[in-house]
Amino acid sequence: MSASKQSLPFIAPTPGKPAYQYRDDIPRVRSFSLGDFHDFDRCVFRFFVNHHLEKKYELAEGNVNQAIGSLLDLAIKKVHQTKAYDQPIEYLENLVKAAETEMRTDVLQRGRNSFYGAQIDFLTEETSQKAKEVFKKYYQGLIGKYQPLVLTPTTKKLRPFWKVVIKEEKPVQLWGGPDAIERGGDGIPEVVDYKYMEDLQKGVGNLDMDLMPKIYILLTAQELLEVGFAKARFVVRLWQDPGNNSYYEEFNLNNKQFLEDFFQEKIDKILRTTSLTFCDKDFCPACKSPHRQQWIAQLKLKGWITDSGEEEASEDLPF
């Protein structure tokens, strides 16, 4: 059913409540992204180093596939921002080049603190060309029929980003956001995360269809309610499989309290954690770092942990 044939019920805004809310006074240790939850589940020590000591970008390890994915994700954002849905593929390919320029500029301005800092060494002409080829095939697979952007106060911004407070007393905050919010064929807004995978079969087998749908819907729920939607659908779109919308989950936005309770429970568990455990995987940049004992000492000094989970770190290690 087309969007023009279905009228979704309008939900009146709660008086005095903004479409989305966040607070700049909430410290980093009480603010969480999807990646933070993943880090905690995989390796508690890595989580504390990345999150509490703010070493995430310093320890980030980029690769070609990440660079291609970032180029594509920025390009689709530019398609939406410029409403270039009917433009020829030659025009759209230029948006990949614009995405490359944006990545390089961000790294130039912010250095290793840039989200793209670890990817910049892989941002070669070959990588850019590969991204253009994938973008072109995706466009051809859709026969040029993009789903338009759902306009909200945040999606109108050049760099959409959401922050949501989920607890008033001793507040904690979620932050991040999807690649786009697109209008589905039935009129329901689709909160979309685009994915590029070197090995598509292996990649879809590792998709997080538990935390990812929940956090992106919660981040966008209040704003979507404010602009008149009662339902939303989280969808993963695969760059190498255009038109495949089988990875999705639908949500009643009026039930977002369930999502708040879900993440509050996970956050409470994190905040109660004062003992370190280590994955000790060869690929873990925290566990295998020469600064391991130094970071343990810092965490203890700041009172974030009481049990290092191993032999005591030397107190005279340089910070």
One digit per residue, the tens of pLDDT, for the chain of length 319 reads 333 323 333 233 333 333 334 566 889 999 999 999 999 999 999 999 999 999 999 999 999 999 999 999 999 999 999 999 888 988 988 999 999 999 999 999 998 789 999 999 999 999 999 999 999 999 989 886 789 999 999 999 888 999 999 876 789 999 998 999 999 999 999 999 999 998 999 999 999 999 999 999 999 999 999 999 999 999 999 999 999 999 999 999 999 999 999 999 999 999 999 999 999 999 999 999 999 999 999 999 999 999 887 754 444 444 4
User: Residue ranges of the domains in the chain?
Assistant: 7-57+148-308, 60-146
Q: Which CATH code for domain 7-57+148-308?
A: 3.90.320
3-class SS letters over the chain = CCHHHCCCCCCCCCCCCCCCCCCCCCCHHHEECHHHHHHHHHCHHHHHHHHHCCCHHHHCCCCHHHHHHHHHHHHHHHHHHHCCCCCCHHHHHHHHHHHHHHHHHHHHHHHHHCCCCCCHHHCCHHHHHHHHHHHHHHHHHHCCCCCCECCCCCCCCCCCCEEEECCCCCCCEEEECCCEEEECCCCCEEEEEEECCCCHHHHHHCCCCCHHHHHHHHHHHHHHHHCCCCEEEEEEEECCCCCCCCCEEEEEHHHHHHHHHHHHHHHHHHHHCCECCCCCCCCCCCCCCCCHHHHHHHHHHCCCCCECCCCCCCCCCCC
